[in-house]
Amino acid sequence: MAKINEEIFKNVISHAKEYGFVFQSSEIYDGLSAVYDYGQLGAELKNNIKTYWWKAMVQMHENIVGLDSAIFMHPKVWKASGHVDGFSDPMIDNKDSKKRYRADQLLEDKITSLEAEGEKEKADHLQTEMDNALKADDLPLLKELIEEYKIVCPISKTANWTDVRQFNLMFATQFGAMAEGSEEVYLRPETAQGIFVNFLNVQKSGRMKIPFGIAQIGKAFRNEVIARQFIMRMREFEQMEMQFFVRPGTEMEWYNKWKETRLKWHLALGTNPEKYKYHDHAKLAHYANAAVDIEYEFPFGFKEVEGIHSRTDFDLNQHQEFSGKKMQYFDAEVNPETNKPYGNYVPYVIETSIGLDRFFLVTLINSFEEQDLSTEEKQDSRSVLKLHPALSPYKAAILPLTKKDGLPDKAREIMDQLKFDFNMAYDEKDSIGKRYRRQDAIGTPFCITVDYETLENNTVTIRHRDSMEQERVDIVNLQKIIGDLVSWKNLLI
Ligand code: ATP
């Protein structure tokens, strides 16, 4: 990672902690690796991201409905889905540092550093060789590549590697109170299976007609071989997934549509399009016939934020076979070629799957700015989170200019009118300048200042976070002004 990018990333992480967005889990016990807690502002931001996704996917589509399935599922689900046998990563240990790595990630880091050194041809060559090795599940070849490209352990700086082995990523636990007679169950490694096993329940009870989708936001757990880069790769994380059920033969059309729709969702937040790119999968998962990642340019390079997969009828077929229950849909629409209904079939599925935490990180990185505001007279700077107002934890802050002369009472009165519709902050401590800076740092789009003029004519100033400009407005208009500026409409139309 280039020094400057490393610095930005470090600053984002410390900003997230300092202002109550993200804390290391169990920090007072030195933390639990790759597990994080969301603080008072992180929880708000995360909820707002969920709302943005849910509204865009469920509320804006008549043919998509939501679901909230349990984390525990019948153990056979994970047999059927292929996770018991195949959900593993190639890992390699360094014998000197005793550290464990994912073989493919060591190679990917090498590719990124070759690219940064201007060795494009070499990087492309390694990428092709690695893709081929992964496709063929050729573990010895992965090791050969690590040796050939002289990749060393970042800690011990040696190339004293073990062989590459497969490592299953699912967490297992005991189900039932007694150890004896209890059964082993898994913490779900993805939310998708909760949707597949409920496919018929939702289709029948909701009278859904193909094409239709089922969306879900929920926790997933993966015992990642190596967890790093803050909330980028966690052992407990949240996914926002949607499975879209379609008629076989139409899947590529829907795959392309969702690929486009999902990128638009990312870009609607105002992100520079150059920060995003598609990355087609070279190695398709056992269930897919097409797959693409939406990648974002993190300070440590382009990495996956969301995956769009054409999963064929693999999952429903597997559940049909393992459960012995039919997973078919009767399509009454008439096929113009045969003049008969399309009839019974197992639908094909397009999946869109985004990591909530990873997208949270994108949002923080994207919005974090350190600005130098120095003038000839004085040195000045500020940290600002330029969050889209719809995502901001607080929609506005109410700030009485001073703590006396009835200004706090007036400020509270305004707050009491607005708090039903907007999450509001109230702050009367320190100078007004310091308070503005505090709100800038947590991404509050508007500061409402109550001053002596307010007591005379019921007007206040609104200060805009990004431009730092102020305007004087009537209190009665605040509801509409803030409402318009933070409305979900600005993102969803
Ligand atoms: P990766 O290649 O980075 O391990 P993946 O291809 O296994 O990811 P998917 O199974 O497609 O990921 O999961 C969908 C999304 O869930 C990913 O795009 C990512 O945003 C998120 N995700 C997956 N694993 C993690 C994790 N360990 N921590 C945080 N988010 C994750």
Centre of ligand 1 from the C-alpha of residue 186, in Å: 18
Rounded to an integer, the average pLDDT of 18-33 is 95
pLDDT at 366 over 90: yes
Structure tokens at 328: 């078919």
pLDDT at 474 over 70: yes
In a domain, 371, yes or no: no
Any idea how long the chain is? 493
Taking all residues of the chain, what is their mean pLDDT, rounded to a whole number?
Answer: 94
Rounded to an integer, the average pLDDT of 174-199 is 87
- Does residue 194 sit in the same domain as residue 301? yes
Centre of ligand 1 from the C-alpha of residue 355, in Å: 6
Of the residues 364, 393, 416, the one at which a domain ends: 364
Pocket test for ligand 1, best of 105, 276, 294, 304 (most atoms within 8 A of CB): 304
- Does residue 335 sit in the same domain as residue 220? yes
Give burial (CB, 10 Å; 0-12/13-18/19+) of 118.
Answer: exposed
- Does residue 306 sit in the same domain as residue 199? yes
Query: For 11-20, 163-172, 347-356, 393-402, which range has the lowest pLDDT when averaged over its residues?
Result: 163-172
Tokens 């169990």 correspond to: 26
DSSP 101: E
Residue nearest to atom 19 of ligand 1 (CA): 355
pLDDT at 169 over 80: yes
pLDDT band at 437 (very low <50, low <70, confident <90, very high): very high
In a domain, 374, yes or no: no
Residue nearest to atom 30 of ligand 1 (CA): 355
Pocket test for ligand 1, best of 239, 281, 351 (most atoms within 8 A of CB): 239
- Judge contact between 445 and 463, C-beta under 8 A: no
Residue nearest to atom 25 of ligand 1 (CA): 233
Structure tokens at 92: 């390699």
In a domain, 333, yes or no: yes
pLDDT at 181 over 70: no
Q: Return the pLDDT at 183.
A: 82
Residue nearest to atom 31 of ligand 1 (CA): 355
Residue nearest to atom 6 of ligand 1 (CA): 307
Q: Return the pLDDT at 135.
A: 82
- Does residue 215 sit in the same domain as residue 348? yes
- Does residue 436 sit in the same domain as residue 465? yes
In a domain, 181, yes or no: no
Rounded to an integer, the average pLDDT of 331-349 is 95
Q: Return the pLDDT at 285.
A: 75
Pocket of ligand 1 (CB under 6 A): 190, 222, 224, 233-234, 237, 239, 304-307, 353-355, 357-358
pLDDT at 177 over 80: no
Convert the pLDDT of each residue in 289-298 to its tens digit. 899 999 999 9
In a domain, 370, yes or no: no
Q: Return the pLDDT at 180.
A: 65
Centre of ligand 1 from the C-alpha of residue 284, in Å: 15
- Judge contact between 170 and 223, C-beta under 8 A: yes
pLDDT at 227 over 90: no
This prediction's pTM: 0.90
Centre of ligand 1 from the C-alpha of residue 134, in Å: 17
- The closest-lying atom of ligand 1 relative to the alpha carbon of residue 309 is 11
Tell me the residue range of the domain where 231 lies. Answer: 3-72+188-364
Number of domains forming the structure of the chain: 3
Residue nearest to atom 29 of ligand 1 (CA): 233
Q: Which of 270, 367, 267, 350 is nearest to 315 (CA)?
A: 350
- Does residue 395 sit in the same domain as residue 482? yes
- The closest-lying atom of ligand 1 relative to the alpha carbon of residue 355 is 20
- Does residue 275 sit in the same domain as residue 360? yes
User: Comparing 134 with 436, which gets the higher pLDDT?
Assistant: 436
pLDDT band at 362 (very low <50, low <70, confident <90, very high): very high
In a domain, 7, yes or no: yes
CATH code, domain carrying 220:
3.30.930.10
pLDDT band at 281 (very low <50, low <70, confident <90, very high): confident
